[in-house]
Structure formats: C-alpha cells, structure tokens
C-alpha cells in the first residue's frame, strides 16, 4: 500500500523524463535536467543506507570523490574505459566504506554525523595537498581534467550533445530506485528499519546491527561511487572541493530529508523540488549573490524538519489517499460494524 | 627538534587551546542544558568575527572595543534562533526528548543560512584586521608570547570561571541547571523552560561574540571558516566531557597543544588531518567521549 | 514427569554495578517444557539476571548453559539464533512497520526468503489473535497490543526457550487474563518459559515452579504454593514485622 505512490507518481514522472529530450533541445536546459537527475540519483544512493537505518551521514561525498578519481585516473593513466572505471571506482568506494562504517556505526546521532564528516574531510584535505602519490599525479586542489577524445565516443564516455548524458543518468536513477525497492522487501530492508526503530529490540531478534548496516553502507557507497564517476565524466573535470567537499554530502542529505527518507521516491522528489530552485536562483540573480541557493536550501531544510519531518512525500501521499481513501474508510467502518454485530 | 622550538610550540598550543576551549564553552553549555548539538556553532563564531571586522573596517573600531557590540548582538541572534527555529521542535515533542538528529538537521539549516548570508554580503575573499596588538609580543623566559593570543587565553579562563560562578549563584543560572537536570521537574516548579532555553542558547552564542572579536586580530577570516571551528569545538567538548565547563577548557588545551606540536613535525594542513584523526580515534575508543557516560 | 531434561543451567553468575552487587553467585535451572517464575521485590536483581541470560550484559562470574552449550561471550543476536528469545519490560515496536512486518523481522532469523518470512509471521499473528490488526501501523497499537506484538516477534524467531520480562505490568485484569492464556498456549507449543514478574498473583497461577531472588541471592525454589509460605520470601516481600506479627 505504501509503495503505491512510487508508481502513481513515479511512472508519469518517468514517462515525462523519457520524453523531455524529444521536446527540449537547448543544451543548457538539458544539462540542468541531467543535473536534477544526478542529484536525485545521489540522494537516492544516500537514502539507501541513511534513510533506512536512520543515521545522518555527511561523509558520503568521499565515496563519490574516490570513485571519480579512480575512474578519471584509470582512463587518463591506463586508458581504461570509464564504464569499467566506474565499476572499479564504485568498488573502491565500497571497500573504503567498510572500515569507515565499522568505526562510525557504533556511534549514535551527532557523534555518527560528525565522525563521517571527519573521515571525508581527512580525505579531501589530503587530496587537496597532494600533487603526487606514489607516482600517481593527483594535482592537489587544482584537480584533474579528462582530455577530450574528439566527437562522440561511447567507450570513452564522451558525447557531443547532452542527450546521451541525460539518458545515462536517467537509467542510473531508475536502477537505484529499483535496487531500493528490492532492498525494502528483502531481509536487509526489514532489518535496517528494525535497527532504526529500536536497536536493542532488533538485536534480541537476531539482528547483528553492525553487519547489516555495513552491508547497506557498502552498497550505498558503491552506488554513490557510480554517481561520482558520472559527475566527473559529465564535466570531464574533477577536483577535491567540488567532487568530494561537504557541500555535496549536504546536498544529498537535504534533498532526501526534504523529499522523504526511507522511501523509494522521496529523494527524487527532494531533488526535483530543490535543484531547480537552486538552478533558477543561480541563473537569474545568483551571479551577484553567491550562495543564495544554499540559503534557500537551508530554509527548506528547516521548514521540512519542523513541518514535514518525514518529508514532502507524506502530504503527497495523504493527497493521493484522500481521493481514493474515502471509500476505503467507509468500507472499513462497515466491516467493523458487521464484526460488532456478530459479537453481540 | 630542539627544546626551544618545542616549548614555543607548547606555549602557543596552550594559548590557542585556551581559546578553543573558550569557543567550545557555548556548545557544551547548550548541549548540557538542551541536549542539542548546535551544528551552526562555528557559523556564529564566524558571524561574530565578521561583525568585529565590519566595525573595524567601517568605523575604525578596535576589535576589543567591538566586543561591546558583538556580544549583545550574538546573544540576540542566539536567543531568536532558539526561540524561532528550534523551539517548535521542543513543542512538538513535549514529553519526549528531542530526537538529536532532528535538532542537528535544524541547526545544519541555520549553518547553511548564516554561512551563505555572510558569503553573499562579503564575498569569498580572505579578510584580516591589522591592529597594533596583532604583532606585539611579550617575552617570558626568552620565549615570545603573542599578546593577542594571551588576551584570548586569559579571556577563556575568566569567562569559564565567571560562567561557572554565574550558573551556581544567580537565579537564572540555577534555573538553567535545574532545567538541564530535569526539564519536566523544572517546568513543574515554575521555571519557564522555553525562556531558559532561549537564554541558554543566547548565552552560548554571546560567548562566541566575545571570542570572535578576540580572534580577529590574529586570525584571517573567510565565510567558510565556521565549520572547522564548529568541528573543533565538538572535538574539544568530547575530549573534556560534554556539558562540563572546566572540561571544555581542558579539552581545548589538549587539542591546542596536540595541533601545535603536531604541526612542528608536519605541515599545517596535515596537522588538520591529525586533529580529525584524533577526533575519530577518541570516539572509537570512547564512543560517548572521554569523560562522557557510555 | 520422567526424565526431565535441563534446557537451561545457570551456574553461579554474578554482576556488580559500581558498589552494588546486583546478582551474587546465582544458580538455578529450567526443565524442558516448564514455566518458571522468577520472583523478587523491586531491585532484587531479576532484570539483571534476565539480561545476563539474554546476552545483553555480561556476567562477572559463572556460566550459563543452554542445552549444554555455554552462552559465554555470545552476543544477543547469536543467542537468539541458538533458540532463546526475549521480551522487554518496555515494549517498543519498530515504528513505521505494520504489525505483520514487525513480526516478520523476527521470522527472518530462520529464513532469508521474504515469502517464507511473511507466511511464518502470518501464522504467528493468527496465533496471537491479531489477524484483524495485521496491517495496522505498530505505532498505533494500544499498550497491551504492543506487548502481544512483542511476544509475537519473539515467537517468530522460533525459540525453544522464551524469556519474558514483566508480561502483565500495567495491564487491566481482563488483559492480564488474556496474557496468561497466551503464555499457556505458548507453552503448549513446547516452548520452555522463564517469566520475570513481580505481580505475585499472576505468577502463582501460571508457573509450575518459582524461584525468588532477594538482594541478588536465591532465597527460595519450589512449587508456588510452598514458596509463598516460606518465611524468607514473606520477609523479602512484606518485611520482618509482618512475618513476626503473623507468627
């Protein structure tokens, strides 16, 4: 019953998303749309663990950054196609997530959050100040560029127009949502929700919280890594500040929280709401007001925490239920009456 | 490394560490009373530094004089942030303890707003205040001690002592301590808990007003320095025991010396990595902090 | 009652919290298939002993054997997998999950297949007579239904030994009666039960045998009727003067 909204709202959105490149040819707008989908993807990857286990990680950008660097370096240094590089990057992120998760999942609330920041910042600061690591050119704060191979080249993950980039991230987004849906119905999903609800209670029912949180984190890190690799390919440029700074982590968290944590569609709704606002502000008055969109994000976050702590998906769901729900309610009442009648 | 350099590093570490402790006082106080980790803590310090800078740049006010403005200003900011932004959370969850993550998220929102308002107003450029005291040092046993840092250090000690005294002996202080111990009991005995929270938050921020002005003479400012101060403050509080005022100063001294000595061996940026590493190590060994209850 | 097998053996466990000796060298055992009541006034160390068996806290001394196997150093989830389930004094259902889904969390210990877990959970929900509420959000349950749900979650892990902490605390007489009935039904499934309770009346009617703790020490062990007559037990519950006055 709860997943219904995913289809009622999600399928038309998907149809719309599939059709957009047929009508929109402006490459700036297409790029912006791809960015909306990118943030929806990243937020969904974040949600995979944080939304379900109920912990606030602000270190996920590290996974995106590491995978991005791995992809770019494999391509520029060894000529490995970014498609394979992405997988290698995602795997590196998943590998990194194990020690990080092992350390952090024992902590609660703010302690967890601040430790994830600490991990991500260590990596970022180190990268920003390292030009060369064991002969690998990292180029510090300056970052790495991916040289153009010229024209559209599928293997090199480089395309002339924005349309291919748009469809790639759309497919990735559908993929992450499908993965989330599968997880929700599996033992892992049940266990994560149980850990979120009552850790001691879950332990007594045979749930090893560390094991299952870590499993979900590794998957989430892998997915986030794929996104990070895509991000680097889209701009053909990567640097520590943008690709693994705390702002990226905050974006993922805010979009998920505003949209609805622990739901399949929530993170995407959050990205659909927030990113266009940010983009419009930047496009219109943002040039002279650096950071205005982040002020709006901050305000939206505060409003969501106070008024919709479970995200805007909740009022939307109520709206959907409200139209069809009336009949169901009356039917339920009749059934209850009948039962009472039988009891007498 | 010779002894002279080392002792210089230790003294410098103690001075800056005392200031870290002073900066962390508000975070510790707010957490101790309200069980809220203020994510925007560093942002308020940054705001205070920009206020002090602005008063110096426009009116030529010495940062130490601007304290008269920054402290009340930050008090008012804190008072209203709690009253307007955070209090709905407490009202919603009357009987229950506020979920720590919600409060963290709310204050993360405040952090985004404050940091970016300052970014909008001042731009991303590095700014600094040059006043006489910036370069003055006194010599103790042949070692130069920067006067501006010494002032900050002494201020931290004095503020910590004054805050302890005030909490013990003033009526408001007693109300704050009572609320920290048991919110519901305090409320039943006629304490206006909402007001206590507003004052506590205001007070925690007012302390930042002071240290913002004291830091400006020797610390360059950018709109994004808040977060690292915030994280350092949290580290200090974890080191010293959350909610404890002397613990805050002690934790600050520990962190200051650690950073200062570490940066003798490695570059300053690597020293930052070490502080984060220290933070992680401490939480790993004692998940609730060095002196916290498990 | 021939050839009773000991399912749980507690041998000399102790626990000290700071200056308080919560449990000192406590030994007792549970026979296969019985309902054992663990009694004692407030602060006698009942819950501490209970938590040591469930693996939530570690004992300072002694050992606990379940079906001959030591539980030393096992985590709560390992103990659950071995076949010991527990309920908590304060029932907290997993919020955002329905009654059925809450029970499924328990049944996932024995299977990783969702359909199988669901089928198992449905059986448990029917057993509890909560079928009508299977799809209710667990947060919306009454306190007593939460308690039943907690029992259901524990049963779904298919335990051979069930540890129950204060099953009728705060329940109305009607509800207490229903719970007693349920506990008997659980025993009829072949599950051995240890109940911690301080409502004397409930435990007297329900238990095959009771043991009484006072100040962390075992002061009585026997059939309910005999145990309530023992002066030590009366003293622990009602104080010295009550016993003297009756004498």
| Choice between B140 and A172, residue whose per-residue pLDDT is larger | A172
Separation of alpha carbons B55 and A48, rounded Å: 48
Which helix (H) or strand (E) is B139 found in, with range?
strand B137-140
Read off the pLDDT of each residue in A7-27 and give the average, rounded to a whole number. Answer: 85
Residue-level pLDDT at C21:
85
Q: Does A203 touch chain C (CB under 8 A)?
A: yes
- Please tell me which of the candidates B123, B238, B280 has its beta carbon nearest to residue A290: B123
Whether C94 sits inside 8 A of A208 (CB atoms) is no
For chain C, give the percent of residues with pLDDT over 90.
Answer: 39
Token readout for C84 is: 């010991």
- Judged by phi (left if over 0) then psi (alpha if -120 to 50, else beta), residue C111 lies in beta
Residue identified by tokens 């310090």 is B45
Q: Which residue, B280, B261, B281, is CA-closest to B271?
A: B261
pLDDT, tens only, A49-93: 999 998 889 999 999 999 999 999 999 989 899 999 999 999 999
Separation of alpha carbons A241 and A193, rounded Å: 33
Whether A194 sits inside 8 A of C54 (CB atoms) is no
Separation of alpha carbons A216 and B147, rounded Å: 52
Read off the pLDDT of each residue in A329-339 and give the average, rounded to a whole number. Answer: 38
Three-class SS of residue B6?
A: helix
Q: How confident is the model at residue B201 (pLDDT cuts 50, 70, 90)?
A: very high
| Choice between A325 and A153, residue whose per-residue pLDDT is larger | A153
Least confident of A187-191, B104-108, B181-185, B246-250: B181-185
Least confident of A222-236, A325-339, B17-31: A325-339
Separation of alpha carbons C85 and C194, rounded Å: 10
Of A206, A261, A309, which to mutate for an interface test with C (greatest number of C Cβ within 10 Å)? A206
Which helix (H) or strand (E) is B33 found in, with range?
helix B3-34
Instruction: Give yes or no for a contact between A279 and A322, defined as CB atoms under 8 angstroms apart.
Output: no
Q: Does A192 touch chain C (CB under 8 A)?
A: no
Q: Does A262 touch chain C (CB under 8 A)?
A: yes
Chains A and B touch (3+ CB pairs under 8 A): yes
Least confident of A143-147, B56-60, C227-231: C227-231
Residue-level pLDDT at B207:
95
Considering Cα of A30, then A31, then A32, then A34, what sign does the dihedral take?
Answer: positive
Count Cβ atoms below 10 Å from residue B89 Cβ, excluding itself: 18
Which helix (H) or strand (E) is B144 found in, with range?
strand B143-146
Q: Which residue, C9, C161, C154, C5, is CA-closest to C82?
A: C161
C57 to chain A, minimum CA–CA distance in Å?
12
- Please tell me which of the candidates A109, A289, A299 has its beta carbon nearest to residue B120: A289
Q: Give yes or no for residue A168 having a pLDDT over 80.
A: yes
Which residues have a Cβ under 8 Å from the Cβ of C34 and sit 6 or more positions away?
C4, C192, C193, C208, C209
Instruction: Give yes or no for a contact between A257 and B72, defined as CB atoms under 8 angstroms apart.
Output: no
The residue count of chain C comes to 247
Residues 210-239 of C with CB under 8 A from A: none
- Please tell me which of the candidates A187, A203, A262 has its beta carbon nearest to residue C108: A187
Residue-level pLDDT at B290:
55
Q: Give yes or no for residue B94 having a pLDDT over 70.
A: no
Residue-level pLDDT at C34:
92
CA angle in degrees (0–180, nearest 5) for C41-C43-C47? 95
Residue-level pLDDT at B93:
65
Sort B134 into a burial class: Cβ within 10 Å, 0-12 / 13-18 / 19+: middle
Q: Give yes or no for residue A343 having a pLDDT over 50.
A: no
Q: Give yes or no for residue A330 having a pLDDT over 70.
A: no
Average pLDDT, chain C: 87
Q: How confident is the model at residue A277 (pLDDT cuts 50, 70, 90)?
A: confident
Residue-level pLDDT at C107:
95
Instruction: Give yes or no for a contact between A66 and A89, defined as CB atoms under 8 angstroms apart.
Output: yes
Separation of alpha carbons B79 and C223, rounded Å: 64
Residue-level pLDDT at B293:
43
Token readout for A143 is: 């970052």
Q: Does C117 touch chain A (CB under 8 A)?
A: yes
Separation of alpha carbons B247 and A31, rounded Å: 52
Q: Which residue, A302, A223, A219, A288, is CA-closest to A257?
A: A302
Q: Does A1 touch chain C (CB under 8 A)?
A: yes
Whether A205 sits inside 8 A of C85 (CB atoms) is yes
Separation of alpha carbons B183 and B34, rounded Å: 9
Token readout for C42 is: 């407030």
Read off the pLDDT of each residue in C49-60 and give the average, rounded to a whole number. Answer: 89
What ipTM describes this predicted complex?
0.89
For chain C, give the percent of residues with pLDDT over 70.
Answer: 95
Q: Give yes or no for residue B286 having a pLDDT over 80.
A: no
Residue-level pLDDT at B1:
60
Which chain B residues have any C-beta within 8 angstroms of a chain A C-beta?
37, 85, 88-89, 92, 100-102, 104-106, 108-113, 115-117, 119-120, 123-124, 223, 227, 231, 234, 238, 267, 269-270, 272-273, 276-277, 279-280, 283-284, 287-288
Residue-level pLDDT at A306:
87
Give the distance from CA A322 to its chain's centroid: 29
Instruction: Give yes or no for a contact between B211 and B22, defined as CB atoms under 8 angstroms apart.
Output: yes
Of B81, B85, B86, B101, which to mutate for an interface test with A (greatest number of A Cβ within 10 Å)? B101
| Choice between B155 and A293, residue whose per-residue pLDDT is larger | B155
Q: Give yes or no for residue C91 having a pLDDT over 90.
A: no
> Looking at the DSSP assignment, which residues form a beta bridge with residue C85?
C162
Contacts 24+ apart (CB under 8 A), A171-174: A172/A37, A172/A41, A172/A226, A172/A227, A172/A230, A173/A37, A173/A40, A173/A41, A173/A44, A173/A268, A174/A14
Separation of alpha carbons A319 and A316, rounded Å: 5
Q: How confident is the model at residue A186 (pLDDT cuts 50, 70, 90)?
A: very high
> For chain B, which chains pass the contact test of at least 3 CB pairs under 8 Å?
A
Q: Find the residue in A nearest to B91 (Cα).
A: A306
Residue-level pLDDT at C243:
62
Q: Give yes or no for residue A332 having a pLDDT over 60.
A: no
Q: How confident is the model at residue A23 (pLDDT cuts 50, 70, 90)?
A: confident
- CA of C204: how far to CAs of B249, C2, C218, in Å? 58, 24, 18
Instruction: Give yes or no for a contact between A123 and B287, defined as CB atoms under 8 angstroms apart.
Output: no
Average pLDDT, chain B: 86
Whether B277 sits inside 8 A of A305 (CB atoms) is no
A194 to chain C, minimum CA–CA distance in Å?
6
Whether C77 sits inside 8 A of A206 (CB atoms) is yes
Q: How confident is the model at residue C241 (pLDDT cuts 50, 70, 90)?
A: low
Token readout for A149 is: 């191979």
Residue-level pLDDT at A197:
87
Residue-level pLDDT at B138:
80
Instruction: Give yes or no for a contact between C83 and C158, defined as CB atoms under 8 angstroms apart.
Output: yes
Q: Give yes or no for residue A45 having a pLDDT over 90.
A: yes
Least confident of A314-318, B5-9, B245-249, C236-240: C236-240
Task: List the beta strands (DSSP E) in chain C.
Answer: 6-17, 20-31, 35-39, 61-66, 69-70, 84-86, 161-165, 192-196, 209-214, 217-222
* pTM as predicted: 0.87
Separation of alpha carbons A272 and A255, rounded Å: 9
Q: Write out chain C residues lying below 8 Å of A187, CB-based.
A: 108, 112, 114, 117
Separation of alpha carbons C34 and A262, rounded Å: 43
Which residues have a Cβ under 8 Å from the Cβ of B136 and sit 6 or more positions away?
B146, B147, B148
Residue-level pLDDT at B104:
87
C109 to chain A, minimum CA–CA distance in Å?
6
The residue count of chain A comes to 344
Whether C80 sits inside 8 A of A204 (CB atoms) is yes
Instruction: Give yes or no for a contact between B256 and B16, defined as CB atoms under 8 angstroms apart.
Output: yes
Instruction: Give yes or no for a contact between B46 and B283, defined as CB atoms under 8 angstroms apart.
Output: no
B10 to chain A, minimum CA–CA distance in Å?
24
Q: How confident is the model at residue A334 (pLDDT cuts 50, 70, 90)?
A: very low
A208 to chain C, minimum CA–CA distance in Å?
6
pLDDT, tens only, A115-142: 899 899 899 988 988 888 887 888 888 8
Of A56, A291, A293, A304, which to mutate for an interface test with B (greatest number of B Cβ within 10 Å)? A291
Considering Cα of C88, then C150, then C208, then C32, what sign does the dihedral take?
Answer: negative
Token readout for B173 is: 């202080």
Separation of alpha carbons B155 and B150, rounded Å: 8
Read off the pLDDT of each residue in B54-68 and give the average, rounded to a whole number. Answer: 92
Give the distance from CA B250 to its chain's centroid: 14
Residue-level pLDDT at B289:
55
Of A99, A117, A118, which to mutate for an interface test with B (greatest number of B Cβ within 10 Å)? A118
Residue-level pLDDT at B129:
87
Q: How many CA atoms lie within 13 Å of A119's alpha carbon, on the beta-carbon side? A: 29
Q: How many CA atoms lie within 13 Å of A247's alpha carbon, on the beta-carbon side? A: 13
Average pLDDT, chain A: 86
B132 to chain A, minimum CA–CA distance in Å?
33
Q: Which residue, C5, C120, A290, is CA-closest to B222?
A: A290
Whether B100 sits inside 8 A of A109 (CB atoms) is yes
Read off the pLDDT of each residue in A1-16 and give the average, rounded to a whole number. Answer: 77
Q: Give yes or no for residue B212 having a pLDDT over 60.
A: yes
pLDDT, tens only, C166-218: 887 778 888 888 888 999 999 999 999 999 887 777 788 889 999 988 888 88
Q: How confident is the model at residue C245 (pLDDT cuts 50, 70, 90)?
A: low
Least confident of B56-65, B91-100, B150-159, C32-41: B91-100
Q: Find the residue in C nearest to A190 (Cα).
A: C105
Chains B and C touch (3+ CB pairs under 8 A): no
Token readout for C20 is: 């308080």
Q: Find the residue in A nearest to C90 (Cα).
A: A201
Separation of alpha carbons C133 and C86, rounded Å: 23
Alpha-carbon radius of gyration of chain A: 22
Instruction: Give yes or no for a contact between A118 and B231, defined as CB atoms under 8 angstroms apart.
Output: yes
Least confident of B69-73, B75-79, B242-246, C107-111: B242-246
- Judged by phi (left if over 0) then psi (alpha if -120 to 50, else beta), residue A21 lies in alpha
Whether A201 sits inside 8 A of C76 (CB atoms) is no
Token readout for B8 is: 């210089």
Which residues have a Cβ under 8 Å from the Cβ of B124 and sit 6 or more positions away?
A290, B222, B223, B224
Whether A301 sits inside 8 A of B112 (CB atoms) is yes
> For chain A, which chains pass the contact test of at least 3 CB pairs under 8 Å?
B, C
- Please tell me which of the candidates A190, A196, A204 has its beta carbon nearest to residue C54: A204
Three-class SS of residue C41?
A: coil
Q: Does A197 touch chain C (CB under 8 A)?
A: yes
SS (H, E, C) chain A: CCCHHHHHHHHHHHHHHHHHHHHCCCHHHHHHHHHHHHHHHHHHHHHHHHHHHCCCCCCCHHHHHHHHHHHHHHHHHHCCCHHHHHHHHHHHHHHHHHHHHHHHCCCCHHHHHHHHHHHHHHHHHHHHCCCEECCEECCHHHCEECCCCCCCECCCCECCCCHHHHHHHHHHHHHHHHHHHHHHHCHHHHHHHHHHHCHHHHHHCCCCHHHHHHHHHHHHHHHHHHHHHHHHHHHCEECHHHHHCHHHHHHHHHHHHHHCCCCCCHHHHHHHHHHHHHHHHHHHHHCCCCCHHHHHHHHHHHHHHHHCCCCCHHHHHHHHHHHHHHHHHHHHHHHHHHHHHHHC
Q: Give yes or no for residue A329 having a pLDDT over 50.
A: no
């Amino acid at each position: 019953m709860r997943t219904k909204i995913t289809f009622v709202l999600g399928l038309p959105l998907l149809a719309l998303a599939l059709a957009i490149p047929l009508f929109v040819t402006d490459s700036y707008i297409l790029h912006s749309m791809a960015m909306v989908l990118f943030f929806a993807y990243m937020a969904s990857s974040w949600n995979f663990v944080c939304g379900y286990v109920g912990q606030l990680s602000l270190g996920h950008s590290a996974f995106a950054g590491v995978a991005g660097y791995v992809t770019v370096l494999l391509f520029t240094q060894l000529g490995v196609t970014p498609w394979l590089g992405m997988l290698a990057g995602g795997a590196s992120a998943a590998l990194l997530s194990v020690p990080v998760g092992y350390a952090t999942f024992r902590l609660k609330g703010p302690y967890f959050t601040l430790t994830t920041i600490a991990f991500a910042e260590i990596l970022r600061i180190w990268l920003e100040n390292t030009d060369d690591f064991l002969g690998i050119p990292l180029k510090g704060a300056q970052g790495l560029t991916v040289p153009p191979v010229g024209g559209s080249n599928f293997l090199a993950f480089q395309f002339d127009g924005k349309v291919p980039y748009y469809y790639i991230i759309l497919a990735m987004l559908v993929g992450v949502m499908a993965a989330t849906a599968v997880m929700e119905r599996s033992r892992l999903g049940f266990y994560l929700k149980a850990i979120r609800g009552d850790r001691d209670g879950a332990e007594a029912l045979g749930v090893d919280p560390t094991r299952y949180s870590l499993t979900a984190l590794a998957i989430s890190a892998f997915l986030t890594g794929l996104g990070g690799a895509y991000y680097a390919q889209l701009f053909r440029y990567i640097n520590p500040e943008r690709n693994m700074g705390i702002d990226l982590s905050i974006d993922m968290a805010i979009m998920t929280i505003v949209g609805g944590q622990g739901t399949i569609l929530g993170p995407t709704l959050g990205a659909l709401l927030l990113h266009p606002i940010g983009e419009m502000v930047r496009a219109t008055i943002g040039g002279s007001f650096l950071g205005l969109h982040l002020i709006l994000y901050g305000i939206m976050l505060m409003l969501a925490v106070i008024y919709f702590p479970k995200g805007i998906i909740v009022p939307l769901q109520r709206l959907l239920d409200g139209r069809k729900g009336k009949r169901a309610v009356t039917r339920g009442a009749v059934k209850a009456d009948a039962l009472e009648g039988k009891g007498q | 490394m010779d002894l002279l350099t080392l002792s210089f590093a230790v003294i410098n570490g103690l001075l800056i560490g005392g200031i870290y402790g002073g900066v962390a006082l508000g975070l510790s106080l707010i957490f101790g009373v309200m069980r809220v980790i203020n994510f925007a803590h560093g942002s308020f310090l940054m705001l205070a530094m920009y206020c002090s800078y602005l008063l110096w740049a426009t009116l030529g006010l010495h940062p130490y004089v601007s304290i008269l403005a920054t402290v009340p200003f930050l008090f008012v900011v804190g008072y209203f942030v709690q009253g307007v932004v955070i209090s709905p959370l407490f009202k919603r969850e009357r009987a229950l303890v506020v979920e720590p993550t919600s409060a963290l998220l709310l204050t993360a929102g405040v952090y985004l707003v404050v940091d970016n308002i300052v970014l909008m107003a001042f731009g991303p450029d590095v700014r600094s205040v040059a006043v006489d005291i910036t370069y003055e040092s006194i010599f103790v046993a042949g070692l130069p001690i920067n006067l501006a840092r010494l002032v900050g250090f002494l201020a931290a000690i004095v503020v910590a002592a004054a805050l302890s005294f005030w909490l013990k002996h003033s009526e408001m202080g007693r109300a704050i301590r009572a609320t920290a111990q048991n919110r519901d009991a305090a409320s039943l005995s006629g304490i206006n808990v909402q007001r206590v929270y507003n004052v506590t938050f205001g007070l925690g921020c007012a302390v930042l007003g002071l240290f913002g002005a004291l830091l400006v003479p020797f610390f360059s400012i950018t709109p994004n320095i808040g977060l690292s101060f915030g994280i350092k403050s949290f580290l200090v509080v974890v080191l010293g025991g959350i909610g404890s005022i002397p613990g805050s100063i002690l934790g600050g001294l520990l962190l200051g010396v650690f950073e200062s000595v570490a940066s003798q061996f490695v570059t300053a940026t690597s020293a930052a990595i070490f502080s984060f590493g220290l933070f992680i190590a401490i939480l790993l060994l004692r998940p609730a902090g060095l002196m916290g209850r498990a | 009652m021939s050839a009773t097998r000991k399912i749980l053996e507690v041998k000399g466990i102790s626990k000290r919290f700071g200056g308080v000796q919560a449990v000192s060298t406590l030994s007792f055992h549970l026979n296969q298939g019985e309902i054992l009541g663990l009694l004692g006034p407030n602060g006698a160390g009942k819950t501490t002993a209970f938590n040591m068996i469930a693996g939530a806290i570690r004992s300072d001394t002694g050992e606990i054997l379940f079906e001959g196997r030591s539980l030393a150093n096992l985590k709560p989830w390992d103990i659950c997998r071995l076949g010991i389930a527990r309920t908590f004094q304060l029932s907290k259902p997993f919020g955002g999950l329905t009654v059925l889904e809450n029970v499924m969390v328990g049944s996932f210990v024995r299977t990783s297949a969702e359909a199988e877990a669901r089928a198992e959970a449905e059986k448990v929900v029917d057993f509890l007579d909560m079928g009508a509420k299977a799809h209710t959000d667990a947060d919306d349950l009454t306190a007593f239904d939460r308690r039943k749900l907690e029992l259901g979650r524990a049963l779904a892990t298919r335990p051979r030994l069930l540890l129950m902490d204060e099953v009728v605390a705060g329940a109305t007489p009607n509800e207490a009666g229903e719970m007693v009935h349920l506990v008997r039904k659980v025993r009829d499934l072949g599950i051995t039960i240890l109940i911690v309770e301080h409502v004397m009346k409930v435990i007297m009617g329900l238990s095959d045998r009771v043991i009484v703790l006072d100040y962390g020490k075992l002061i009585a062990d026997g059939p309910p009727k005999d145990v309530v007559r023992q002066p030590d037990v009366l003293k622990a519950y009602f104080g010295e003067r009550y016993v003297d006055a009756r004498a």
